[in-house]
């Protein structure tokens, strides 16, 4: 019966982020502020490296460029930054948190929800009840949550709610999203756009700029796979993934 439980991959991933965050918060309580600053800079460097790696997934730099620029314009127009700020403040009032709450929530949410493991894992869970990919992702996310929460605080814990909603939605929409799994490069272009957003987050974490509204670029994740077919040849779409 448990093997047929709907959304069990998402529930496992959410639990992993919760447990990892709680462990990280406990460690963070024991750390001096100077050590937290060092840890925060270290996380910024790792996020930058991850962003570069993710961006290199693109086959044509015009795709993430168009996605990020147009996504930023759309995000600013609909006020996504205001909405997320209000959401973050509501969560901070419930969970408590310091100045890094919003950074922790946004950076952890992007880290945990962007990438081929998220998309393919949720689609396989939705279509086949196969959670192997999400189980592996849960292990990675749980470990990452420990370090993020130790440096960034309760915002990382709150990102578990984002994981639950986003991955649950992708799993529920597995059938209409199936073409993204059958043409892996479409998902890779969304990953590349996410990499650019991760680099923006790294710039903030490293204190290079503190006025970047990175959250307004989130619509780029949906735009990238939509514009990708305009720039990619059929053979560049990738080998189809076997799905029922």
- d(CA 16, CA 160) in angstroms, rounded, equals 9
Task: Divide the 244 residues of the chain into consecutive groups of 10 and give the mean pLDDT of each group.
Answer: 70 95 90 80 87 91 94 92 82 73 82 81 87 91 90 89 91 83 80 90 83 84 88 61 46
Would you say residue 244 lies in a domain?
no
Residue entry with tokens 């509501």: 90
Nearest CA among 162, 190, 186, 170 for reference residue 127: 170
Would you say residue 123 lies in a domain?
yes
Would you say residue 25 lies in a domain?
yes
Would you say residue 75 lies in a domain?
yes
Q: State how many domains the chain has.
A: 1
Would you say residue 1 lies in a domain?
no
Would you say residue 100 lies in a domain?
yes
Task: Give the residue numbers spanning the domain of 213.
Answer: 7-237
- d(CA 104, CA 100) in angstroms, rounded, equals 6
φ, ψ of residue 3 to 5 degrees: the values are -65, -20
Residue 100: CB atoms within 10 Å = 18
Prediction pTM value:
0.81
Using alpha carbons, list the distances in angstroms from residue 55 to 108, 178, 185, 244: 18, 23, 12, 30
Instruction: Bin 56: left if φ > 0, else alpha if -120 < ψ < 50, else beta.
Output: alpha
Would you say residue 243 lies in a domain?
no
In this prediction, residue 109 carries a pLDDT of 86
169: CB partners within 8 A, 6+ apart: none
Would you say residue 66 lies in a domain?
yes
Q: Is 131 helix (H, G, I), strand (E, B) or coil?
A: coil
In this prediction, residue 93 carries a pLDDT of 76
């Amino acid at each position: 019966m448990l093997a047929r439980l709907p959304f069990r991959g998402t529930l496992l991933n959410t639990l992993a982020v919760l447990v990892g965050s709680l462990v990280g918060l406990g460690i963070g309580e024991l750390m001096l502020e100077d050590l937290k600053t060092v840890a925060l800079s270290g996380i910024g460097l790792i996020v930058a490296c991850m962003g570069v790696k993710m961006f290199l997934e693109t086959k044509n730099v015009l795709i993430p460029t168009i996605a990020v620029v147009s996504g930023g314009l759309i995000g600013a127009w609909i006020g996504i930054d205001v909405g997320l700020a209000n959401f973050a403040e509501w969560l901070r009032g419930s969970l408590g948190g310091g100045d890094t709450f919003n950074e922790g929530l946004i950076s952890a949410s992007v880290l945990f929800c962007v990438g081929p493991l998220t998309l393919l894992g949720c689609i396989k869970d939705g279509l086949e009840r196969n959670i192997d990919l999400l189980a592996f992702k849960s292990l990675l996310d749980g470990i990452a949550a420990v370090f993020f929460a130790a440096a960034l605080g309760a915002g990382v814990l709150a990102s578990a709610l984002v994981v639950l909603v986003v991955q649950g939605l992708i799993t529920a929409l597995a059938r209409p999203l199936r073409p993204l799994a059958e043409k892996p490069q479409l998902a890779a272009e969304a990953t590349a756009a996410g990499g650019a957003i991760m680099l923006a987050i790294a710039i903030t974490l490293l204190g290079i700029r503190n006025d970047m509204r990175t959250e307004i670029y989130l619509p780029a994740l949906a735009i990238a796979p939509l514009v990708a077919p305009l720039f990619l040849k059929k053979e560049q779409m990738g080998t189809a993934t076997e799905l029922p």
